[in-house]
Amino acid sequence: MRAGAGPGRGGAFALILFENVAYLADDARREEAFRMLRERTGLSPAGILAAPRAALQEIARNGILAEDRVDRLREIAAIAVEEFGGDLAEVVRRAPKEAAKALRKFPSIGEPGAQKILLFTRRVPVLALESNGLRALLRLGFGREEKGYSASYRSAQAAAQAELPADFGVLIEAHQLLRHHGQELCKRAVPICERCPVTKECWWFRENGG
């Protein structure tokens, strides 16, 4: 998400909803879907479970596969109630490994997603990455691209985090900037190297474009 966008510091449950509210939507449509969800449900598990299916469908149509998203939102709310009493504030206060394990019970939340939640809720100062940010780091020469995504992720994360302070504000900004750079310039298929401000530092550019 962009700086100042999305759920911000709205808590772990809000962050999980933001990731799931609209499938394959761009940032603007995802933020609109999240705004509508907040207005109609209060972003509470009870509010989501009580919301008419038609209302959730209207929200989810900001992306594709709206029916699937409605089921997903209700599943998230049900997990929150059944597993955690409807409140995830206590979950993110657990020891980092235990908190991450609990968060991974939710749909679409793997290790990177759990780390992002713990970063954005300011519980664990870790450089959480998503696919666009990871790609940008690997091309800049941070870590190594391994056969598996998880190994590549950990390699790039460790290399980049070694050069950053354990400061929540800095790490959140790094996450956002790397994500934006990967989305807008360091694209997967056709990176726009001619507009990139860091080509002099880029291993991928030297090997492929320079």
Rounded CA-CA distance 184/190 in Å is 11
Q: How far is CA 173 from CA 64, 156, 167, 169, in A?
A: 29, 17, 10, 6
What is the gyration radius of the CA atoms in the chain, in angstroms?
18
Q: Is 10 exposed, middle or buried (0-12, 13-18, 19+ CB in 10 A)?
A: middle
Angle at 129 between CA 124 and CA 132, to 5 degrees: 165
For tokens 């599943």, the residue is 75
pLDDT more than 70, % of the chain: 95
Is residue 129 a contact partner of residue 172, using CB atoms and an 8 Å limit?
no
Residue 23: φ, ψ to 5°: -85, 130
- pLDDT recorded at residue 2: 46
Residue 7 pLDDT > 80: no
Res 8 pLDDT > 60:
no
What does the DSSP 8-state code read for residue 199?
G
User: pLDDT of 103-115, one tens digit each?
Assistant: 999 999 999 999 9
Which residues sit opposite 23 in a β-bridge? 64
Cα–chain-centroid distance for residue 155? 19
Supply the CATH classification number for the domain 131-208. Answer: 1.10.1670.10
Residues near 22 by beta carbon (within 8 Å), at least 6 away in sequence: 29, 30, 33, 34, 59, 60, 62, 63, 69
pLDDT band at 4 (very low <50, low <70, confident <90, very high): very low
Q: What is the pLDDT of residues 20-68, one digit of tens each?
A: 999 999 999 999 999 999 999 999 999 999 999 999 999 999 999 999 9
Token pair 């109609």 is found at 40
- Residue type, position 12, single letter: A
CB 192 within 8 A of CB 185: yes
According to CATH, where is 1.10.1670.10 located in the chain?
131-208
pLDDT value of residue 210: 57
68: Cβ contacts below 8 Å, ≥ 6 apart:
23
CATH 1.10.340.30 in the chain, residue ranges: 12-120
Q: Which CATH architecture has domain 12-120?
A: Orthogonal Bundle (1.10)
Q: What percent of the chain has pLDDT above 90?
A: 91
